[in-house]
Amino acid sequence: MIIRAMQLKDVEGVLNVEHLSFAIPWSEAAFQHEVTGNPFSRYYVLTDDADRVLAYAGMWIVIDEAHVTNIAVLPELRGHGWGKKLMQKLVEEADACGVLFMTLEVRVSNVVAQNLYSQFGFKYQTIRSAYYSDNHEDAMVLTKEWENR
């Protein structure tokens, strides 16, 4: 398995993972913009030997903050540590860029993801009520801070 920067050729594979992972998936145009038109974005794909997209993750780095926008793994490959490897890549990239903190939102019901984020030092900050438009579920806002910067 290889983790590399997302390219335009990966958008179709990313969309497949996205549609299998989220009730309200991002559009093709949104991912194309992340690759070609958003100077703040950092997106990565995890691919197999045939260069098939198996998972992806992305964030925006703006000044001193990194905001995780998405992370998803094909359903049949979950539980094998691929999400953890992608999260590690995001944290390493944010650290290399000298950010002071990272933020993200996660569904209050998504305990698996919350456990993953806690392994990287993310801590609870607040709740965003009715954040998700598909079912009005609350989002938990988590933040990771870098010490001594």
Q: Which residues are catalytic?
A: 105, 117
Between CA 122 and CA 89 the distance in angstroms is 15
DSSP 8: G
DSSP 42: E
Percent helix, strand, coil in the chain, to 5, is: 35, 35, 35
DSSP 27: P
Single-letter residue type at 2? I
Q: What interhelical angle do 82-96 and 111-119 show, nearest 10?
A: 40
Secondary structure (3-state) at 103: strand
